[in-house]
Structure formats: C-alpha cells, structure tokens
Amino acid sequence: MDEKPKNLWKEVDDKHQLHVTIPTIDSTIESENVDERVVFIGDLEKRKQAYGICGECKEPGTGFNWCQSCNAKRFKDNFKNWTSGNKHIDEFIQQSQLNAVHFLKCLEWIPFEKFQNVTYIAEGGFGKIYSAEWPVGHIEYWDIENQKWFRYSFEKYALKSLNNSSDICSDFLNEIKSHLLIYNDDIVQCYGITQDPNNKEYMMVLYYCKYGNLRNYLNKSKNYINYKLKIENLQQIARGLLDIHNAEKVHKDFHSGNILHGIDSLPFISDLGMCQPANIKQSVKEEGIYGVLPYMAPEVLRGYQYTKAADIYSFGIIMNEFLSEEIPFNDIPHDEFLAFKICKGLRPTISNDIPKLLADLIIKCWDAEIKNRPTTKELHQLLKKWDDGADSQNSEIYFQIKECDKTREEKFKNRSNEDKSKSFQTHPQAFYTSRLLNFKNLPKPVNSSDLSSFQFSSDANYTAQSTSANPISECLDVQLSELELNEICQDSEHNIE
C-alpha cells in the first residue's frame, strides 16, 4: 500500500510576503513599484527558501503551504460540484481558484445556509454590512497528509452587499477583483461570494473587524492610545496604501470610515469599490464625483483626475484625525462653501500637542500643490523609520512623542465620558459617508496659513436645517457665479481672526 505523501512544507520566511508576485509592468527589484517583500514566480531558489517544497509535485511553493499547479487541479476537479446559479459569478470564482498563488487570492462560492447568526450592522454609501458566523471557515491550505483542505474559522465574518447587486453589476465584481490584484496584507481580506436568498443580492464574504472603523475605535477606547501605537498604526495604513499604489491603482474613497480595526486593534483598509487604475486617464462624469468632502483633495473637488497624490491628501486628513482624535470639519455643513474654503487653503486644525515631525508630515500630505506631497513610498518609509525609532533614546521622534504623550495623557485622564461624546457630535449637514458631489467654478487650490484659523460665521447660510431622508444618495450640485465667489472671498477676509 502506498504511503501518503508527507507534508514537506516549512514555515514562511518572514522576509518575504505571503505569496509570489507576477510582475505586470516592466520593473526591477530597485523600482518604486517593487519592495523587498516581493518574490518573483520565476525565481525558484527564492521560492524554495520562502515557501518550501510541495510534498506532492516536489516543486517550490507559490505561497505559504500553497502549490498553484496542484491546487488548480483540485479546484478544477471540483467545479462540477458547485454553482452560484450565475455564469459570470461561476467563471469569476473559477478563474480565481485556477490562478491562486496563495489562499488570499482564492475565492469560494459559499451557500448562504452555511452562515449562522447573520446580524445587520450598518449601511454605507453603496451597500449594507452584516456580521455572521461561518463555522466551517475559509480555506488556508491543502492538508497533504489527510488529503483535504485545512480550514480556519474566525469568530465572525463580515457580509457586504452592494446596492442593486442582484443583477451582478460590474462594480460588485470590480471591487472583488481589486482585492485579488492587490497584495493585501493590510487590506480587508475577501474570502468568497454568497447570495442573500431573500432579496437575491450578492454579498462579499470579508474579514470581520471587531473594533469597527477608525472613529469607532477612537470613540470606544477606554485606554489612552499613545503616539508610539498611533505611529505603528499609521505606518501599517501607509503600507496598505503603498500596496494599492504598487498595483497601479488609486483608492479614490480614502477616509476614516474605510479604516477598520480588527484583532489586536490592527488597522486595515476597506471598501475598494471605487478603486481604479492609476495609469488610465479618467474623465469626471457630468453628474459629479463620489466621496466624503472633508477628505477629498481640492483638485478632485474641482473635477480633475484622481491620482495617487489625491490618496496622499486623504491620508493627511486621516492622520490628523487619528492623532488629534478630532473629526475634520464636524461643526459646519459639508457644502459648496466648505469646498470653496478647502480650495482656498482651509484645513482641519492641527493640535499643538502633536509631535512636530508628525505635524510637518501632515502639512506636506495635504499641500495644495500635488508635487509637494510625498510619494506613498516616501510616506511609508518615513513612518516606518519613526516607528522603529520610537523606542530609541537616540532618535528625535522618541523625545517628541515622550513630551507630547505627557500632555495628552493628562488631558485624557481629566476628560469625562460626557466630554468625549460631546466632542464627537457633528453638524446635521456634515456627512461622513460617500455621496455624489458636483461643484462648479471652484478656485485654483492654494495653501493659506491664515485660513487655518478661519471661523465660520453663524449667519443664515449655516443655520441647521432638516436633512434629507436619504442624505447618502443626494447629489450636491452647485454652480457658483463670479459674483458669488467674490462675495465669499470678501466674507472670508472679514472673518479671519
């Protein structure tokens, strides 16, 4: 009787990423588009060192305990045993399984009855989110000794539906495709697709982030979050954004609501639904642009092409929000006047107890001049340097965060829960989910240190009004005349302190 093949896989070398990379552009290892974690699929020796040898075909692995050729055969043999009932979905999943170089690149069709305790969580700009238990769990690798898939089950998974996805719109598949194309160690993982039997909407099965988005994480934290931990989190977010940009894509909807915190409070980038190629010129549709106004770069508000630099601007707003724990522009309406002020240089206030090195980086990220913003690689390298130096008494960042932590921790201890909840209150016309915006005649973006202390007046233009029953989907379509712009400029000058 033949012996079962032994499992010869060895643990992954942490100098490399979890799977090989197949370059899609002309690049070398020194290129900005490739970092030190890359292991090329053609480099057999590096693959042996990083992933070991397959116990069946004796070839180097393509990922942790993963052999692409052996697993592709297994998946193909199983195609006849399942169907989603939709040809496009079936082919999409099948292609992911045939091409998977690692379990994170492998999708499954998961019948809805496999989930338990499905619970509604929230509705965003484009769909609904649920939590659910999946007792069987997702595939991680082929167990050679027992000849079956080894599966791992988290306590919960997230189910995300897109509006009108029952017709399997291209947006739904494009979002999942973005998950597969990006090396996504810092991106919320997608494990498969299911379908709600009640409304027939298709749903992505995602990693569940128990602490919610960045705002929820800050709001619910009972302990003081020191600057070292925040710098560590920021460099992880920057690394995730670098992975998106290395895949030659831009996120296009980068805001604190799309930064989720999971196990051990680790941050992940979510919502890749608007993620698009960075190297293809995108024309702005006549009806406007989608986004969350306080996080959108001024050139984007004016209708210009969304670039990697626009994501960097958004990162600057997120970074300031995380460090200051203040919601950007939470006390004023998110309307055409705010868009105008942003183009004229208005930015959220930077707290005076934020370390100067970090404050300077924030200002660089949200510079009105695109060329002055750091690249994603520069951003990540700088944050990683500070993360590594946060414990070193020989580093400048060490002394800065030590002093600022003293001031900030004292404030945290003295602040009551009532004060904390009050600080998170928002104006009735401040919206923090993506919606359709359309502005005309906005001025050329400039930097203005004066406008950083600008105080909005309390005249009729800013009187709180009842909000729409569905503010998420409303279109803010505004066209300002030259006369109105001049009036706003004059009004700004009178109100600057």
390-410, pLDDT tens digit by residue? 888 889 999 999 999 999 998
Against a cut of 0.95, is the pTM above it? Answer: no
Q: What is the pLDDT of residue 276?
A: 65
Q: What is the mean pLDDT of residues 371-395?
A: 93
Which CATH fold topology does 212-454 show?
A: Transferase(Phosphotransferase); domain 1 (1.10.510)
CB-CB contact of 132 with 117 (8 Å) = yes
Say if residue 86's pLDDT is above 80. Answer: yes
User: Residue 107 CA to chain centroid, in angstroms?
Assistant: 20
- Residue 346, C-beta contacts closer than 8 angstroms, at least 6 positions apart: 338, 448, 451, 452, 454
pLDDT, tens digit, for every residue of 293-329? Answer: 999 999 999 999 899 999 999 999 999 999 999 999 9
Q: What is the pLDDT of residue 454?
A: 39
Say if residue 120's pLDDT is above 90. Answer: yes
Task: Select the more confidently predicted residue: 414 or 212.
Answer: 212
Q: Domain extents for the chain?
A: 44-207, 212-454
Say if residue 423's pLDDT is above 70. Answer: no
Q: What is the pLDDT of residue 41?
A: 53
CB-CB contact of 181 with 190 (8 Å) = no
Structure tokens at 134: 């999946």
The domain over range 44-207 is classified in CATH as 3.30.43.10:
no
Q: What is the pLDDT of residue 55?
A: 87
Q: Above pLDDT 90, what percent of the chain? A: 51
Q: Above pLDDT 70, what percent of the chain? A: 74
pLDDT tier at 344 (50, 70, 90 boundaries)?
A: very high
> What are φ and ψ of residue 302, in 5° steps?
-80, 0
Say if residue 465's pLDDT is above 60. Answer: no
